[in-house]
Amino acid sequence: MQHPLSLYNTLTRKKEEFQPVNPPQVGVYLCGPTVYSEAHLGNARGPVVFDVLTRYLRHLGYSVRYVRNITDVGHLESDADEGEDKMAKAARAQRIEPMQIAQHYANRYRQNMLALGCLPPDIEPQASGHITEQIQVVAEIIENGFGYEVNGSVYFDVPKYNEANRYGKLSNRSVEDQLAGTRDNLAGQDEKRSPLDFAIWKKATPEHIMRWPSPWGEGFPGWHLECSAMSRKYLGDLSDIHGGGLDLMFPHHECEIAQSQGSHSHTDEARIWMHNNMITVNGTKMSKSLGNFVLLGDMFQGPTGGLTQAYSPQTVRFFLLQSHYRSPVDVSDEALQAARKGYRKLMNGLRLLDKLVVSEQAPANQEDDRTTDNEQRTTLSGDADLRKLTADLFTGLNDDLNTARCIASLFNLLRKFNTLATTPTALAEVGAEALQAAVAAYRTVVVDILGLQDEPRANAEQLLELTLSFYTEAKTAKAYDKVDQIRAALKGQGIVIKDTKAGVEWAYSEE
């Protein structure tokens, strides 16, 4: 079946119809977090978007291999920093092993992503486990003449590379412009032949804890290298889709492309490069360096970072999906509260579906000729409407994964469902087949593709207490029918009622 899924490719600056390199296999890579601190809301957008992307690709019938890495090699905080990296810094502050830091935050990250409804990636490679592969890429780059070693560090020769390639093709920059705009006050540049060159292997200073042996001495890989190496290892020289936040476009992804072209891969690493936009707070980008971030764990729990209350993971997921991934999103209480209501409305719709499923209606037609009956069914006035609403669900998704439009059409379909559920005459206008298709599509899009699920809100113990109060009332009134009924119902839930001298209590059934 043809499905006109098109995706915006940063590399070509336009929407392209999606065609896998090796159908039906599809390789997707998302740049994961550097695990040295708690994940914030901004960190969630890429994973949520790519979760929907991979879910949708699977829905379309592709066999997807989704790779989302964990960067646990302590990269330097900046070129100006000598020897200190993020992880070592955090480790020293907390007096523990750097790998403990990495493990701790990687665990937390996975918890948060799972809470947000993101399916675990198929492969979650860690940079520290792929040092050999990264060294290999460095060696290839040197072999191809695009890398040079200075004092145990290896740099990528950007001007040399630019002679035959275009460094800057992803982020639309020219080497000339960049050279003109280079700041000349950066420290640690003396080893580089050009200010544009970037480290692909860095010599470890004595105080640098995370270090590995290499042909160039003890050191650690450059901060763009792991993605190139791991993408190639698991998705081949050319993957289908590679993504990350807009702020990764330059230099991170630009360098990745240069590395892959400069290595024996000789490719752009991925055919389609996708970038999600930033999340802002009061119009300003949320970032660790600015300190204006909202931590995911915190916002699930209670007020934090300017928000007056907690927002559930599913509310957050819905909130993110209610805008298109390439648009910036601003967070606020008002926006989140509106999202929460919308999300619950969608969930109530989900619960309604069971009541709508193929009612055996129109018995009046029973005696009609069967063919005539079918023809009537497919031409019923309500059908066209319903079929259109159903088809609309996928229009937005196919247009560069526009979840905002998809959600809007879900609400349109839901309104129809609500009407059908309360208006028998309207229901009679609709054929069972169209209804069934619509119901199935709604469920598929909400649950399987958008990955939204019902979050239990009711407190079971409180509901139980309420039931027990009715039980007590019935008992007092000697309404033993009622009493037995309640006992039986609770028994069915694995709960037994105990009438003690102290009052009514309950326990889990031991049967």
Partner RNA sequence: GGCGACGUGACCGAGUGGCUAGGUAGAGGUCUGCAAAACCUCCUACAGCGGUUCGAAUCCGCUCGUCGCCUCCA
| Footprint (CB under 7 A) of RNA, residues 207-236 | 223
Q: Does 17 bind RNA (CB under 7 A)?
A: no
Binding map of RNA across residues 299-328, x = CB under 7 A, - = no contact: -----------------------xxx--xx
**For RNA, the closer CB: 333 or 465:** 333
Euclidean distance between CA atoms 173 and 158, whole angstroms: 13
Least distance (Å) from RNA to the CB of residue 180? 7
Euclidean distance between CA atoms 54 and 77, whole angstroms: 32
Least distance (Å) from RNA to the CB of residue 413? 10
Least distance (Å) from RNA to the CB of residue 282? 8
Least distance (Å) from RNA to the CB of residue 278? 4
**For RNA, the closer CB: 123 or 408:** 408
Instruction: Choose which of 295, 339, 393, 446 interacts with RNA (CB under 7 A).
Output: 339
CA-nearest of 31, 33, 22 to 64 is 22
Of residues 63-82, those binding RNA (CB under 7 A): 75, 77-79
**For RNA, the closer CB: 235 or 331:** 331
- Residue 15's contacts (CB-CB under 8 Å, 6 or more residues apart) are 6, 7, 8, 9, 399, 400
| Backbone dihedral angles phi then psi of residue 29, each to the nearest 5 degrees | -125, 130
Beta-sheet pairing, 14-17 with 6-9: antiparallel
Least distance (Å) from RNA to the CB of residue 352? 8
Q: Does 334 bind RNA (CB under 7 A)?
A: yes
**For RNA, the closer CB: 173 or 487:** 173
Binding map of RNA across residues 39-58, x = CB under 7 A, - = no contact: ---xx-xx------------
**For RNA, the closer CB: 260 or 322:** 322
Least distance (Å) from RNA to the CB of residue 122? 19
CA-nearest of 125, 152, 124 to 138 is 152
Of residues 178-207, those binding RNA (CB under 7 A): 178, 180-181, 183
CA-nearest of 220, 142, 154, 164 to 192 is 154
User: Maximum Cα–Cα distance for the chain, whole Å?
Assistant: 94
Q: Find the helix packing angle between 381-398 and 370-379, rounded to 10°.
A: 50
Euclidean distance between CA atoms 53 and 34, whole angstroms: 22
**For RNA, the closer CB: 51 or 483:** 51
Of residues 401-430, those binding RNA (CB under 7 A): 402, 404-405, 407-409, 411-412, 414-415, 418-419, 421-422
Least distance (Å) from RNA to the CB of residue 480? 26
Q: How far is CA 280 from CA 105, 293, 332, in A?
A: 23, 9, 9
**For RNA, the closer CB: 151 or 422:** 422
Q: Which residue has the tokens 């403990």?
A: 100
**For RNA, the closer CB: 221 or 245:** 245
Least distance (Å) from RNA to the CB of residue 55? 19
Euclidean distance between CA atoms 55 and 43, whole angstroms: 19
**For RNA, the closer CB: 171 or 374:** 171
6-10: Cβ within 8 A, 24+ apart:
6/398, 6/399, 6/400, 7/241, 7/272, 7/274, 7/400, 7/401, 8/274, 8/326, 8/400, 9/271, 9/272, 9/273, 9/274, 10/170, 10/249, 10/273, 10/274, 10/275
Residues 230 and 133 sit within 8 Å (Cβ to Cβ): yes
Instruction: Choose which of 218, 298, 330, 454 interacts with RNA (CB under 7 A).
Output: 330
Instruction: Choose which of 21, 115, 175, 335 interacts with RNA (CB under 7 A).
Output: 335
Instruction: Choose which of 100, 287, 374, 467 interacts with RNA (CB under 7 A).
Output: 287
Least distance (Å) from RNA to the CB of residue 38? 10
Least distance (Å) from RNA to the CB of residue 486? 20
> 148-182 as b/e, with b when 16 or more CB fall inside 10 Å?
bbeeebbbbbbebbbeebebbbbbebebeebeeee
Binding map of RNA across residues 21-40, x = CB under 7 A, - = no contact: ----------xxxx------
**For RNA, the closer CB: 64 or 274:** 274
**For RNA, the closer CB: 85 or 140:** 85
Q: Which residue has the tokens 């791991």?
A: 230
DSSP 361: -
Of residues 84-143, those binding RNA (CB under 7 A): 86
Residues 234 and 67 sit within 8 Å (Cβ to Cβ): yes
**For RNA, the closer CB: 298 or 399:** 399
Binding residues for RNA, rule CB under 7 A, total: 76
Among 87-95, 228-236, 262-270, 339-347, the segment contacting RNA (CB under 7 A): 339-347
Euclidean distance between CA atoms 237 and 263, whole angstroms: 10
Q: Does 480 bind RNA (CB under 7 A)?
A: no
| Backbone dihedral angles phi then psi of residue 56, each to the nearest 5 degrees | -70, -40
- Residue 423's contacts (CB-CB under 8 Å, 6 or more residues apart) are none
Euclidean distance between CA atoms 90 and 483, whole angstroms: 61
